Each structure stands twice: as C-alpha cells, then as structure tokens.
C-alpha cells in the first residue's frame, strides 16, 4: 500500500492569498493555517498538505533575487520531507520566478508548481480554488512511488506549463499565461491529460544542487525604431554591467547602422554578454536569416533562440553567478539547461 504524497504549500504573497473583509471590502492576507476551513474541497485530495508562509508576504511586484533564494532555501531545507511543492505567488512576476527557480534547482526530482489567481480566494467568482486544488493534485501525482512531474512548472486556468517557457499575457482574463513556444505539460479537464513525452527526464541518482548566487548586474533593452545612440551608449556604459538581453525585431533583427554595430562590438569586446531574443510573443531568433542579423552573429552576440525574455534574464543572472569563463559562456547559454530553449 503506497503512502499518501506529502505536499508543502509555500505562500509568498499575491492575490490568491487574500480574503475579502465583507464589512469593509478591503483585501487582507489569508491565514493559511485555516486553509482547510476556507477550502474544504482540499480534504478530498489524496495527499497530506502542510503550509509555510512568508512572515511578511509580498506583492509580486517586489519580487527579487534574494526572495528567489529564500524560496529555493525553503525547498532545499524541506526537500527530504516532501514529495512535491506548490508555490503560491502573485501573477505579475510569476514567470520570472518560475524561470529563476528552474535554474537554481539543479537535478530536481520532485515537482515545484507555481500558481496564483486573478481574484482573491474569498471572492465569489474566484479562480483561486481551481488553480490551487489542481496544482496540488498535479504536484501529488506519483507512479511507482515516485513523482510524475520533476521540474519547475506553472499552473493556471486548466493548464500546466514548463515554468521557464511562460509569459504573462493578460491582466484581465483568467487565462493570464501562455507558453508561446512549448505545449502545455498537462491539461485539466474532466480528467488530467498528461503529455508525458514533453516532461523533462530525471537524472537518475543525481543529488539536488541549489544555486543561490545570482548576479543582477544585467539589463533588458527593447529595440524600437528611433532609438538614439546616446540612449544605447548610456545603458552600455553603466558601471559594473555584465550582461544585457537585447529584445530585437522578428527573428533577431536589429539596425545595421554603424553606430549601433560599433557599440555592440565594443560592449562584447569589453566582456559584456549580449543575448539576442525576439520581442515577438512567439517564435525564435535565427541570426543570419536576414542581413540585419548576420553582423550580430559575426560580432559574437548570443542567440536566445526561442527563449522567453523572462527566462533569458534569469538565466543570465544564474550563469553570471557561476563565474563561467568568457570563452565558454556563449555555448553554455545557447544550450538548454532546464528545457528553456528548443535544441
């Protein structure tokens, strides 16, 4: 007889953890000790749930690398005791956090499922209950006594996505997230439909390694017609800047004006890591497809391929924190480490 899966629910903050004071209409933090009382349906789940809440829950707009380290440390310290983890998080920066945690948790052999909601848990039309219940159910899935999901994921509105493939695309709809370049791992309908051929494989007997050194001397630069030399040169001249994610047009295209290419060349020669990602919501960078990206390729710009901006910037922080030799950085960035890019 198999024992029930043990799930740790980690509350960081966000709308899902709010309940409405019906007298004043104000939102206030929810007491997760009273979770069963507020969502009795959770008792029907075939798992044991324990909760951990940030002492001072935060709005996800205030999320930062030290908070990611805090979440990673909570998982690390509780890793032997639990079969899966569900992280409740504000939706605004959830894709960044899920991406960051995917890089920080190397050799993960258990599920870490991020979820949240567009409406508070106490709201009449809330999406919080379904998101929370299904996220817990997915995190507790086991086969032969081992977790079915073994990666960092994001569950929202009937779909489980690979966390580092997601972007928030809507502030109004319940379907707030999409994974533009990778299909959903699980779809929730009357039954859970598992696309198990898409899951990340587990490294057998590999011990969990938690990387806590993230370097945030990075920037995102979104190209636009009319960007001036003064603006770009000012950003590239920022003291201690180590890497930039350059959001270019289409399949990785950028201006071919001399001043632009000279600034990028000078930046790369000075040791700055420049990653090219598309500002399109889907698709991939393919440097060399057009003349406007051929020069970038020859300068040594890193191809982000079909990575999201959220995964690109967090991967940059992660790799810069690893002190990788300059001549190896490009190859490592262009390699899928946690399924974040298509090979």
Exposure string of 115-154, with b = 16+ CB inside 10 Å and e = fewer, is bbbbbbbbbeebbbbbbbbbbbbbbbbbeeeebbbbbbbb
Q: How far apart are CA 263 and CA 261, in angstroms?
A: 5
Q: Among all chains, which residue has been given the structure tokens 């391929």?
A: 305
Which residue in 183, 184, 182 sits closest to 155, CA to CA?
184
DSSP count for the chain of H helices, then E strands: 9, 20
Instruction: Please enumerate in sequence order all residues whose Cβ is within 8 A of that of 33, keeping only pairs 6 or more positions apart, or say none.
Output: 51
C-alpha dist (Å) from residue 277 to 86, 92, 322: 30, 21, 22
Six-digit token pair at 144? Answer: 């032969």
Active site (annotated) includes residue 15? yes
Catalytic residue among 12, 15, 248, 308: 15
Could you give the residue numbers annotated as active site? Answer: 15
């Amino acid at each position: 007889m198999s024992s029930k899966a043990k799930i740790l629910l980690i509350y960081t903050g966000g709308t899902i953890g709010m309940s409405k004071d019906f007298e004043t209409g104000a939102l206030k933090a929810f007491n997760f000790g009273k979770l069963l009382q507020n969502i009795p349906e959770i008792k029907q789940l075939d798992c044991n749930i324990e909760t951990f809440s940030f002492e001072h829950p935060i709005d996800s707009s205030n999320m930062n690398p030290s908070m990611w380290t805090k979440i990673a440390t909570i998982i690390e310290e509780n890793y032997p005791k639990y079969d899966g983890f569900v992280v409740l998080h504000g939706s605004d920066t959830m894709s960044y956090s899920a991406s960051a945690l995917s890089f920080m948790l190397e050799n993960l052999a258990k599920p870490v499922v991020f979820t949240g909601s567009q409406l508070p848990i106490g709201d009449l039309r809330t999406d919080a209950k379904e998101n929370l219940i299904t996220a817990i159910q997915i995190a507790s899935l086991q086969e032969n006594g081992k977790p079915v999901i073994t990666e960092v994921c994001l569950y929202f509105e009937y779909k489980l996505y690979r966390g580092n493939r997601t972007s928030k695309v809507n502030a109004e709809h319940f379907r707030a997230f999409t994974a533009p370049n990778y299909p959903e791992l699980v779809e929730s309908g009357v039954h859970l439909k598992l696309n198990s051929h898409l899951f990340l494989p587990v490294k057998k007997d590999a011990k969990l390694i938690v990387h806590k050194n993230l370097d945030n001397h990075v920037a995102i630069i979104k190209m636009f017609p009319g960007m001036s030399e003064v603006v770009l040169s000012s950003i590239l001249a920022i003291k201690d800047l180590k890497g930039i994610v350059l959001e270019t047009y289409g399949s990785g295209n950028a201006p071919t004006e001399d001043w632009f290419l000279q600034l990028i060349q000078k930046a790369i020669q000075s040791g700055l890591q420049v990653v090219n990602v598309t500002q399109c919501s889907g698709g991939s960078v393919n440097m060399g497809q057009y003349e406007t990206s051929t020069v970038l390729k020859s300068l040594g710009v890193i191809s982000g391929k079909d990575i999201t901006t959220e995964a690109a910037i967090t991967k940059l922080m992660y790799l810069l924190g690893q002190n990788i030799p300059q001549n190896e950085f490009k190859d490592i960035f262009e390699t899928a480490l946690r399924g974040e890019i298509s090979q």
